[in-house]
Amino acid sequence: MRKDSVILSFANVSFEYGHDKIVLDEVSFGVRTGSRITLMGQNGAGKSTLFKMITGEIRPQNGRINLTPTEATIAIAHQVMPKDCLHLNVREYFATAFEDKKYDLDRLIANVFEVVNVQLSLDKKINELSGGQQARLLLAHALIQDPDILLLDEPTNNLDRLGIEHLTGFLMMYEKTCIVISHDADFLNAFSDGVLYLDVFTHKVEQYTGNYYDVVGEIEERIQREQQQNARMQAQIQEKRSQAEVFAHKGGKLRAVAKRMREAAEEAEENLVDVRQEDETIRNFTIPAQEFDIHFHGKVIEFTSVGAIKNHQPVTKQLELIIKKGKHLLIAGRNGSGKSTLLEKIATGSGSGFTIAPGVKIGYYKQDFSNFSARGGDFDQTAYDSLLEVMKAKDEHKLRAASAGFLLNGKLLNNPIRALSEGQKGLLSFCRLSLLNPGLLILDEPTNHINFRHLPVIAKALDEYQGAMIMVSHIPDFIAQIRIDETIDLDQI
């Protein structure tokens, strides 16, 4: 295919869920062969839905989606591992990438493992892998299909620094067409040559050329120009209205002049530039810490040993570490070292090597959100009920005020959790924590899926948290904004 040809185009495409959830409104754009495009948009704007339309999983209600040539192939690396794949082993998972049986499947897997920089037993179950290992498999599953168009949905989620660097280098050298959804600005800027912006308010897609930071700057400058133009026009409109009031009270022929001036003001209002609404940012919030009685000795959790995975084998190291109220602990280590497993054991109290003080209330941010509700990963529960169940004193006003601060309005609260975007699930998780008053806060990759505009607000809340906190994160800039008192590096065990 020629490099200057258009491989994918949307022509006046419209799509909505029901009659009150518009995603696309007569959207048109084209993607050239070999381009590397960032798909931007607010949480819940419909970016993942647009990907489903490209793959043909869902179809537009109006308009056309064209591939040139029509036999161009598409593969997608999803945000999270499909639940119906978790019981498969690695070999069985890759077999699902092909309609026909591949007799050289093991060789193909070995080749793609070199690309994504991972080594795994092909007999290993998917549900036994870490979040970072699963993230690499999601990418490898798409790459093994050798598609003409590669779609990546939040590919850096759960990847450690080395994984992100490896993926960035791969995409910089990638010769086929690639469209990426990500909230990692530095990652996107390294390889993007264009941006598609899906606006959650207008349901339109704006197309830009240039690297990510250039485009973001261009958008901000345009908004400033439109705001300045509107400010000038508003001043003129107010002046015309004031003059019309003066002439109207003078009577006679001046009343006709006043009428014409009012009409001119109304026409000017209609011509105000429709300034694109920028991403909203969540409000500042706090996570109140659990109040303990006077007999509490101050030790929230005490470690006597810690386990990790090295060279695919479990190892244990003895240590003496006490995390008191107000202390923050970072668990570090590369993908597959056992960080999420350790957090899961602490959160469920199912492991050894640590003791949690009696009566400590645990708030757990799990990277796959499978701990929503008291019944586990109940994604059929409404967002409203998920918040209500963590409140000791059921307060409707407090619940709705808190959820509004996380951009979860009344309509979203009535939806089942499964209907929320991954980013909205993340915000719902933080809203739950703010209503829970935990004594021990456990956070497993809390930046996953979250719009970068929200991250400074979240970092501030975690930095100021007065309870005990244990966190895993691979984002150095995020960690740098949070007070860390102790670190356990599983790579050093």
Superfamily per CATH, domain 299-492: P-loop containing nucleotide triphosphate hydrolases (3.40.50.300)
- Residue-wise pLDDT tens for the chain (493 aa)? 556 799 999 999 999 987 678 899 999 999 999 999 999 887 778 898 999 999 999 999 999 999 999 999 999 998 889 989 999 999 999 999 999 999 999 999 999 998 888 889 999 999 999 888 998 999 999 999 999 999 999 898 888 888 888 889 989 899 999 999 987 888 888 989 999 999 888 899 999 998 888 887 887 787 777 778 777 777 877 877 787 777 777 767 677 777 777 777 777 666 665 555 556 789 999 999 999 887 777 899 999 999 998 888 899 999 999 999 999 999 999 888 999 999 999 999 988 999 999 999 999 999 888 876 544 557 889 999 999 999 999 999 999 999 999 999 888 899 999 888 888 999 999 999 999 999 999 999 999 888 888 999 999 999 999 999 999 998 888 999 999 999 999 999 8
Residue whose C-alpha is closest to residue 209's, from 398, 36, 352, 19 = 36
Rounded-to-integer distance, Cα 343 and Cα 390, Å = 20
Assigned token pair, 252: 């006679």
User: From CA 21, how far away is CA 46, in angstroms rounded?
Assistant: 10
User: N- to C-terminal Cα distance for the chain?
Assistant: 51
Asked if 78 and 138 count as a contact pair (C-beta separation under 8 A), the reply is yes
| Token couple for 61 | 């209600």
Indicate the domain borders of the chain.
6-73+147-217, 299-492
Check if 6-73+147-217 and 299-492 are the same fold.
Answer: yes
Spell out a b/e string for 115-153, using b for 16 or more CB atoms within 10 Å of the CB, else e: ebbbebeeeeebeebbbbbbbbbbbbbbbbbebbbbbbb
Q: With H, G, I as helix, E, B as strand and everything else as coil, classify residue 422.
A: helix
Assigned token pair, 11? 């022509």
CATH number for region 6-73+147-217: 3.40.50.300
Q: Which residues contact 153 (CB under 8 A, 6 or more apart)?
A: 47, 48, 51, 76, 77, 78, 79, 181
* Cα–Cα nearest to 302, from 230, 348, 357, 369: 357
Q: Is the dihedral of CA 78, 82, 86, 87 positive or negative?
A: negative
Q: Do 63 and 11 contact (CB within 8 A), yes or no?
A: yes
